[in-house]
Amino acid sequence: MNKPQAKQFFELLSEQIKNPTTELKYRNSFELLIAVILSAQATDISVNKVSPSLFKIAPSPEKMLALGEDGIISYIKSIGLFRSKAKNIVNCCTTLIEKFNGEVPNTREDLQQLAGVGRKTANVVLNTAFGEPTIAVDTHIFRVSNRTGLAIGKNVLEVEQKLLKITPKEYLKNAHHLLILHGRYTCKARKPLCQNCVVAKLCEFEAKKLP
- 122 and 36 in a single domain? The answer is yes
The average pLDDT across 95-103 equals 97
pLDDT at residue 206, as a whole number = 67
Give the CATH number of the domain where residue 78 resides: 1.10.340.30
- 149 and 191 in a single domain? The answer is yes
What percentage of the chain reaches a pLDDT higher than 70? 97
Domain that holds residue 204: 3-18+135-209
- 121 and 167 in a single domain? The answer is no
Q: Report which residue type is found at 151.
A: A
Domain boundary among 74, 96, 130: 130
In a domain, 23, yes or no: no
Residue 43 has pLDDT above 70, yes or no: yes
Give the CATH number of the domain where residue 11 resides: 1.10.1670.10
d(CA 44, CA 27): 15
Residue 209 has pLDDT above 90, yes or no: no
| Catalytic residue chosen out of the listed positions 44, 85, 138, 162 | 138
Q: Across 16-84, where does the E strand assignment appear?
A: none
CB 76 within 8 A of CB 54: yes
Domain boundary among 106, 130, 154: 130
- 34 and 80 in a single domain? The answer is yes
- 49 and 7 in a single domain? The answer is no
Domain boundary among 130, 158, 189: 130
Please report which confidence band the pLDDT of residue 54 belongs to, taking 50, 70 and 90 as the band edges.
very high
- 142 and 125 in a single domain? The answer is no
Tens digit of each residue's pLDDT (9 = 90 or more) over 167-183:
999 999 999 999 999 99
- 47 and 72 in a single domain? The answer is yes
d(CA 158, CA 180): 17
3 a catalytic residue = no
pLDDT at residue 208, as a whole number = 64
- 104 and 174 in a single domain? The answer is no
The average pLDDT across 36-59 equals 96
d(CA 185, CA 188): 6
Nearest-CA neighbor of 84 among 92, 45, 131, 195? 92
The DSSP-derived string for 87-105 is: HHHHHHHHHHHHHHTTPPP
Tens digit of each residue's pLDDT (9 = 90 or more) over 14-39:
999 999 999 999 999 999 999 999 99
| Catalytic residue chosen out of the listed positions 44, 85, 87, 120 | 120
Q: Please count the structural domains in the chain.
A: 2
70 a catalytic residue = no
Nearest-CA neighbor of 138 among 26, 36, 17? 36
The average pLDDT across 76-102 equals 97
In a domain, 182, yes or no: yes
